[in-house]
Chain A
Amino acid sequence: MKIFIYPTNSLILSDLVARFGHEPLAIMQEISKKIKTGGLDSPPLNITPEDPKFGLKYAAVEVPSGVRGRMSLFDPLLTQAGAAIIVRDPVISFGCMGCARTNELVNFLIRAKKIPMLELDYPVSEEDAREFVFRISEFLKSLKPAEEKE
């Protein structure tokens, strides 16, 4: 099953989901598609003026184009998600993960989708980590396994 992860660029979540036999839906794969498209229109991420228009699906036209542009990247992930693993208030969502408003919107949309969801906190000790990994493994075991990629 395709699992949406949040933070969407998380190494730990991406690794654990793949380890337990599912497919992580991470932002990296969308960025990869963008930059591999022939003819680089708008480096570095190849976000063109067309992208904020796709974002209109989620946010009104008055919403900053940054949010709408980001939403165009998140759209395929949200659409494909069969389940989700969310880490509550990750510190890193303030930095590289960028826009707080986009993150709030993504969290809202994934909850509104009513798919199986697991909410956790980042572990700070070994005990926390044991519970973190155990809960993820139990959650993923309860879902259908991922299909093999050709």
Chain B
Amino acid sequence: MTDTVTKMAVINSTKVLPSDVIIKLYESNADVTIKETCFGVIVSGERKAVDELLSTARKMDPYGIFIKERGFAPGDVIRCRATRRGGARPGFHTLETEDKILPHIAQALKALDKGEVPEKKKQKKKLDIEKFKQIIEEAEVSE
């Protein structure tokens, strides 16, 4: 049995659109199924072909294209919203939450490639109970 895999590429780029990536993927003429979505593209096929294809596509914007595996193939009737009468598909909220952080991650990856070492942040200490009691007492006195 061949090792088939479905991967999604989430595009959070200022210079590349999902449609650009789709054209690049079609150019390869590889034996895979491709679907353009609002967040990027979904590619399904043999693992080796999918990995090669997506690593080529990532070169268009290495810091703007993020890839992860997906359980369901594109357009799977079990998962597709068209057959489930709408609503967000399971997994959408995770994607939505992480999508908001992607620009920060992209900047961080850029900085890492430049060899920048971030300053260690000071750990926030929990408030001491005695200090807290003192604050309460002071507040009561001022009233």
- A and B held together in a complex: yes
Chain A proximity of B66: nearest CB distance (Å): 4
B121 proximal to A (CB < 8 A): yes
Contact B94 A127 (CB under 8 A): no
In the bound complex, residues from chain B placing their C-beta under 8 Å from that of A126 are 104, 107-108
Residue ID in chain B nearest A14 by CB atoms: B68
Residue ID in chain A nearest B7 by CB atoms: A28
Check A11/B116 contact, CB under 8 A, given A123-B104, A127-B121.
no
In the bound complex, residues from chain B placing their C-beta under 8 Å from that of A149 are 3, 47
In the bound complex, residues from chain A placing their C-beta under 8 Å from that of B91 are 9, 96
Check A12/B98 contact, CB under 8 A, given A92-B93, A125-B104.
yes
Q: Name B69's contact: one of A14, A43, A92 (CB within 8 Å).
A: A14
In the bound complex, residues from chain B placing their C-beta under 8 Å from that of A89 are none
Contact B68 A26 (CB under 8 A): yes
In the bound complex, residues from chain B placing their C-beta under 8 Å from that of A9 are 91, 94
Once the chains are docked, how many angstroms separate the CA of A127 from the CA of B118?
A: 8
Check A10/B98 contact, CB under 8 A, given A26-B68, A28-B69.
yes
Mark each residue of chain B from 69 to 80: 1 if its CB lies under 8 Å from any CB of chain A, else 0.
Answer: 111100010110
A-B contact count (CB 8 A): 111
Chain B proximity of A139: nearest CB distance (Å): 13
Q: Name A7's contact: one of B4, B67, B94 (CB within 8 Å).
A: B94
Contact B101 A122 (CB under 8 A): yes
A112 proximal to B (CB < 8 A): no
**Contact residues of A: prevailing secondary structure:** helix
Once the chains are docked, how many angstroms separate the CA of A132 from the CA of B106?
A: 12
Mark each residue of chain A from 115 to 126: 1 if its CB lies under 8 Å from any CB of chain B, else 0.
Answer: 000000011111
Contact B108 A15 (CB under 8 A): no
Once the chains are docked, how many angstroms separate the CA of A128 from the CA of B124?
A: 14
In the bound complex, residues from chain B placing their C-beta under 8 Å from that of A102 are none
B97 proximal to A (CB < 8 A): yes
Check A32/B71 contact, CB under 8 A, given A92-B93, A123-B101, A125-B104.
yes
Chain A proximity of B5: nearest CB distance (Å): 7
Residue ID in chain B nearest A7 by CB atoms: B94
Using A123-B101, A127-B121 as known contacts, list a sample of 6 further A-B pairs with CB atoms less than 8 Å apart, ordered by residue number in A.
Answer: A10-B98, A36-B4, A96-B90, A97-B94, A125-B104, A128-B121
Question: A-side interface residues toward B, CB under 8 Å?
Answer: 7, 9-12, 14-16, 18-19, 24, 26-32, 34-36, 43-44, 91-92, 95-97, 122-134, 137, 149
A-B CB contact pairs (8 Å), 5 listed: A12-B98, A96-B90, A96-B91, A131-B121, A134-B117
